[in-house]
Amino acid sequence: MIKWLLFDKDGTLLKFDETWSEISLVMIDRFVEQYQVDNKQALQEKLGYVNDRFLSSGILASGTLSDIIDVFSEYAPTIDKKEIEKWTVKISKDLISEYKPETIVIEGLIETLTAFKDKKYNIGIITSDDIDGTERFIKDAKVEHLIDEKITASINGYQKPNPKMVEKFYEKWDVAPDEIAIIGDTPTDIQMGKNAHFKVVVGVLSGTGDEADLTGADYIYKDINEFYEKEAEWNK
């Protein structure tokens, strides 16, 4: 039986505010200007922005700040990576402060998570975001009382789809992979579930991915609300 539900954040619990997209592109523009990068289009495509859209499997949609730093370093090879890391972390914080992206949650979020809690499920967030961004989302969405665990990436930590990301989670909660369902909107979420051998891997269409992107999921639903409605199907 499934005891834990691990939800991805962006695109699964949180709708993509267009402001976040703008922040990503402005960051690239400022990096190109700062370090005099020649091929901006190639840089954008390497980060997952192709033909004016964000790829669901791309770094900007499902990667971490550490991934962005790695790519930036490739395009400014004469600059010390520590300098690029420092610059990227600072510009990211500055742009969030400047643009103040709005937290827009999936419709019915609180009601659906509350219903899962009433059924005695434990709820966790597993995200490529860092702990600060995750805690900001939880506070803004007013779901502090519904979240039991936060599994996040950091500059030097493990990230999806590396199963080492959940090793400490297993130890802390004495939980096994066959007691876990993961729910996410990108190929990275699906691969995380497969790599970690979670019992149920669920894709949702509320984010950047479509059904073709979520190939490999055990089930694909419109959003977390349909996931709740179909409980009898995935938790047998």
Half-sphere exposure of 36 (CA within 13 A, CB side): 2
The DSSP secondary-structure symbol of 106 reads P
* Cβ-based neighbours of 187, under 8 Å, separated by 6 or more: 56, 57, 62, 209, 213, 214, 216
pTM, 2 dp: 0.86
The token duo for 131 is 């702990």
pLDDT, one tens digit per residue, over 23-73 is 999 999 999 999 999 999 999 999 999 999 898 889 998 888 889 999 999
**196 pLDDT above the threshold of 80:** yes
Q: Which of 19-28, 150-159, 173-182, 202-211 has the lowest mean pLDDT?
A: 150-159
Half-sphere exposure of 160 (CA within 13 A, CB side): 32
**156 pLDDT above the threshold of 60:** no
CATH number of 4-16+103-234: 3.40.50.1000
State the alpha helices, DSSP H only, in the chain.
18-35, 40-46, 59-62, 65-75, 81-99, 109-118, 131-141, 167-173, 187-195, 224-229, 231-234
DSSP string, 131-168: HHHHHHHHHHHT-GGG--EEEE--TTS--TT-GGGGHH
User: What integer is the mean pLDDT of 157-163?
Assistant: 90
**155 pLDDT above the threshold of 70:** no
Query: What residue type is 162 in one-letter code?
Result: N
User: What integer is the mean pLDDT of 177-206?
Assistant: 97
pLDDT, one tens digit per residue, over 102-135 is 889 999 999 999 999 999 999 999 998 888 889 9
- Delimit the domains of the chain by residue range: 4-16+103-234, 18-99
